[in-house]
Amino acid sequence: MYGRIFACLLVLFGVRSSVCSLPCDYIDSVNITDGERLPNDEIRHNGVIYNKTYYRMIDYEYEDFATKKYVPNYIRGCLCAVRICVRLCCGEREYLGRKCTHSDGYLPVVVNVSATEMIDLRNHSLYGFLYGKPCEQVYELLPEENPVDEWSIARNGSLIIADELLVPRNQYCLAPRLNTSYASGLVCFTSTEEFKYNLYPVAIISIWCHLLHRQLDNGNGTVATDYGDGL
C-alpha cells in the first residue's frame, strides 16, 4: 500500500509512473480537472461530488479505450462509483444529427425507466453521464418501427431491450436529438465477418441474435448493419 502511495506522490511531483492508476476501470471514469475544490479534498464536477477515494491525478489516457498514451497530469474521477452511469454517444453539449453536433441549448435525455415512467436523466440526481461511443460499430434501436426494439433504462444503468435482453452500460450509448426530448438508444454490434472469427461476451452474442431476429421479423433474410448516422 505504501509503495502505491509513494508512486502517486511521484506523479504529483512530476515523476512519471504507471503505478498511480485509477481505483476503477478507465472507461467508467471522467476528467474532473476543472471541478470545484471542496473541503476535505472533495471535488464537485457537473453536480457530482467525488471524495478522494474515487479520484486520482494520473498522467495517461486511452484512445478509443484501447491505446494508452502519456499526457500532462490531470485529475480523473470514478463516476460510476458515485452515480448510476449512463453513456452518451456524443460529447457533453452535443446532439446526434448526421453527426455529433454542438448545441448551446438544453438537450434533454428523456428515457423510459419502466413501462409507465419516463424521466429526464439530466434532471435526476441518481444518474451521471459518461461520454463517447464505447465501441466501433453501433446500430440504432427503432421501437417506432419494430416492437422488438422497445427499450428502457434499468435501475443499474443497463439498457433493457424488449423486456428480456440486458445490455451493460459499456455496450450501448444514448444520443440526444435536436427538437425532441426523447433520446435514441444505440447498441454495440459486431459485423457478421468479425463475429465468425472472434470470441465475444454473452452480451455481444445476444445483441447479434437480437438484430438477426429483428431483420427476420421484418421479412428480410439478411442482417443489416444499421449504424447510427455520424458515428
pLDDT tens digits along 193-205: 444 333 444 444 4
Domain 18-81 has CATH 3.40.50.300: no
Confidence of residue 217 (pLDDT cuts 50, 70, 90): low
Checking if the pLDDT of 186 tops 50, the result is yes
Q: Do the domains at 18-81 and 84-188 have one common CATH topology?
A: no
- The amino acid that residue 9 corresponds to is L
Average pLDDT score over residue span 92-96: 92
Which carries the bigger pLDDT value, residue 163 or residue 123? 123
The model's confidence at residue 213, banded by pLDDT at 50, 70 and 90, is low
- Number of Cβ within a 10 Å radius of residue 103: 13
Strand partners, 139: 187, 227
Task: Answer whether residue 207 shows pLDDT above 70.
Answer: no
Per residue in 127-172, pLDDT (tens digit) is 999 999 888 888 899 998 988 899 999 989 999 998 889 999 899 9
Neighbours of 161 (CB within 10 A): 22
Contact at 8 Å (CB) between 28 and 79?
A: yes
Angle of CA points 183, 189, 194, to nearest 5°: 165
State the average pLDDT for the chain. 80
Residues in CB range of 18: below 8 A, 6 or more apart = 60
**Rounded-to-integer distance, Cα 16 and Cα 72, Å:** 10
The structural domains of the chain, with segments of one domain joined by +, span 18-81, 84-188
Of the options 2.170.180.11, 3.20.20.110, 3.40.50.720, 2.40.50.140, the CATH number for the domain spanning 84-188: 2.170.180.11
pTM score of the predicted model: 0.75
